[in-house]
Amino acid sequence: MMEIKTIEFKDDILYLIDQRKLPGIYEIFQCNDYKEIEFAIRDMVVRGAPAIGATAAYGVVLAAKEFLKEDEFFKKMEEALVFLGNSRPTAVNLMWAIKRMRVLIESNKNIPLDELYKRIKKEADNILDEDIETNKVMAKYGNEVIKENAAILTHCNTGALATAGYGTALGVIREAHYTGKNIFVYADETRPRLQGGRLTAWELVQEGIPSKLIADNVAATLIRDGKIDVILVGADRIATNGDTANKIGTFMLSVIAKTYNVPFYIVAPTTTIDFDIETGKEIEIEERDISEVTHIDGIRIAPEGIDVYNPAFDVTPWENITGIITEKGIIRLPYKENIMKLK
């Protein structure tokens, strides 16, 4: 079993695997202050909802360290919290982590700032550690739906690189592999940023999991021809009715899966559930720069002057989802009722 340290905080520096450069270059990106952490999230040095949340928590730590000796500590901390919280709009784990850190700060305003800093640091460490433990519990629940010799399709990257460690959907795949189920994985390349081709494929190779990388538009043929037994994907935000925002292309897979009766599971921690929204229509979908579509590794592949629509996510309706695998078990229909039990 290979340990991938996506996030590591040491000596007041946050170290991140630079996911923009994998698989060609394995390089560590250093964040020395909270503004560099905001850049790392926004520019996708780090990505994946759980990893973004943990990274943002350490952004709060570095902000606290920077403002410790200033008179307007709490005012400046609130500005930093807002700044970090605006780095990406769709992943609810980001807002969840920022809220958790804000509550800690608000409830400890009467203690010495040096002691408050220690508590902020401890809380960030807890968020990191809890995510790894959550992933491992989720993986065990998810492994219950994986049959011997299963062919699994996944989309985007949901592994150790997308979390504090181990992974969500890819964590389930790891667990099935470690428990000897003789699985085979098909990984969508995931245009436009190719997280499947660059990151999931890299993790699968590192772990020695039997797999093939496919272009996104191959998936429908495999599903139609009975070559896929189950589909596992992650989530960036889940509404209380079960509607789920995930990497663009997920909704398309869910429609095909439903047509051909292939089980379609979301794998995500309960922190990804947004209890403040009722349906996926309320989820803000991030639209990213057109260069992600017109260029690959800085090389233009589309003509000058062409307009581009580049949403980073889409919403899969609850009707297309077989179950939502969490650290508290597998949520099944009726989603609204069963999700609200977790609040």
Binding-site residue set: 47-49, 88, 195, 246-247
Q: Enumerate residues 6+ apart whose C-beta is below 8 A from 168.
A: 50, 135, 138, 158, 162, 234, 235, 267, 268, 269
Looking up tokens 């996030």, which residue turns up? 7
| DSSP annotation of 196 | I
CA-based nearest residue to 28, from 7, 10, 55 = 7
Residue type, 9: F
Q: Are the beta carbons of 44 and 27 closer than 8 angstroms?
A: no
**Catalytically active residues, by annotation:** 236
* CB neighbourhood size of 65 (10 A): 15
Q: Phi and psi of 325, rounded to 5°?
A: -90, 120
The four Cα atoms 16, 179, 127, 4 give a dihedral, to 10 degrees, of -10
Residue list, annotated binding site for substrate: 47-49, 88, 195, 246-247
